[in-house]
Amino acid sequence: MGAGSLQLRLGELATRLGVAFHGDPERTLERVATLTQADERSVSFLANPKYRRHLQETRAGAVVLSPTHLEGCPTAALLTADPQLTFARVVRLLYPEPEVPAGRHPSAVVAESARVHPSAWIGPTVVIEDEAEIGARVFVGPGCVIGKGCVIGEDSRLVARVTLCWGTLVGRRALIQPGAVIGGDGFGFARDGERWLRIPQIGRVRLGDDVEVGANTTIDRGALEETWIADGVKLDNLIQIGHNVTVGENTAMAACSGISGSTRIGRNCTIGGAVGTAGHLEIADNVHFTGMAMVTRSVTEPGVYSSGIPAMPNGEWRKTVARIRRLDEMERRIKALEEGLGSVREQAAMRPPVGYG
């Protein structure tokens, strides 16, 4: 993926991106780099104003930036209201995905009842079980295991060592990174005296179109119904999605987050790194949790939500902990003072006014 790059002229690149440009339209560009590392054949970008100090000294062949930053740019520029988005499109143009080589590696094991489109690639040591279905131009990388009855939609890519447990449904144009496990049993047990009895998980996982799943992320199958990851969802590395969870369209979730079972997350949400949720919660559309947030209640209104204590010098933290430990005592003392103050006010109200009689 992205091993090779193309060469495009500045004017051609601007036309394909649909943006204005400043500079020589014949300038050749073939790679991307940061402002400080770029050379004359590189495209860089400026999105965060705090990096503006690097702009005047860059050696980039072209810089993607907003028109407000054009003054002071010493080189050619691609002008756009959203430099980060435009730069992402530059990368996709200069580093196109390689075409999927149709065929099957000799070491792959494919069940006779599996249906594999002739244009798909089945890589080394892949195992595809009974009744699985692999769509057109799907790339199944080395070491992947595709369980019984799984379906993978066209143009999807399983990079390597991906495990799809039985019945998992993957939409079109999915990208699943190495080590992901989709459709493993959810964490379901019933108490049997002092022991636990495992509850068979008989639902499945469904991924919509254009879903991306990061490395070593796990998505559990539903207990009875589906675990549903809707169209356009982006999941980072090392995320745990519990059984029966629903994640709405175009929600993005950063690494090390954990979503407990039966939680329903709305559309267009962002979940920061290491966020944890309790189970059976309802999260509205357009909710944004900052990193390390601990979500214990449903959130019904869109907005930005945070919790947790930011890092601080150890001495300050120890003092803060000491104060936290005294909160119960302080509450009792304040309550006693309030009760005493109320008694004083009652006695004062019963006294005759000064000068009475």
At 355 the three-state DSSP class reads coil
Between residues 353 and 250, the one the model is more confident about? 250
* Max CA pair span of the chain: 113
Q: What is d(CA 270, CA 21) in angstroms, rounded to the nearest whole number? A: 32
pLDDT at res. 344? 74
Contacts of 264 (CB under 8 A, 6+ apart): 245, 246, 248, 281, 282, 283
Per-residue pLDDT at 357 exceeds 60:
no
Which range among 60-69, 128-137, 344-353 shows the weakest confidence by mean pLDDT? 344-353
Say which of 22, 54, 69, 243 is annotated catalytic.
243
Q: At what angle do helices 83-94 and 10-17 cross, to 10 degrees?
A: 120
DSSP 200: P
pLDDT at res. 4? 54
Q: What is d(CA 343, CA 348) in angstroms, rounded to the nearest whole number? A: 9
pLDDT at res. 356? 55
Between residues 196 and 98, the one the model is more confident about? 196
Q: What is the pLDDT of residues 3-31, one digit of tens each?
A: 457 899 999 999 999 999 999 999 999 99
Mean pLDDT for 121-140 is 98
Q: What is d(CA 77, CA 81) in angstroms, rounded to the nearest whole number? A: 13
User: Which amino acid is located at 349 in the chain?
Assistant: A
Percent of the chain with pLDDT over 70: 97
- The mean pLDDT value of the chain amounts to 94
Q: What is the pLDDT of residues 299-317, one digit of tens each?
A: 999 999 999 888 899 999 9
Mean pLDDT for 347-351 is 73
- Is residue 184 within 8 Å of residue 218, measured between CB atoms? yes
For the chain, give every domain's residue range.
Answer: 8-94, 103-305, 314-350
User: Which amino acid is located at 20 in the chain?
Assistant: A
Q: What is d(CA 9, CA 15) in angstroms, rounded to the nearest whole number? A: 10
The CATH code belonging to domain 103-305 is: 2.160.10.10
- Is residue 126 within 8 Å of residue 144, measured between CB atoms? yes
CATH architecture of the domain 8-94 equals 3-Layer(aba) Sandwich (3.40)
Q: What is the pLDDT of residues 151-181, one digit of tens each?
A: 999 999 999 999 999 999 999 999 999 999 9
Q: How confident is the model at residue 143 (pLDDT cuts 50, 70, 90)?
A: very high
Confirm whether 243 is a catalytic residue: yes
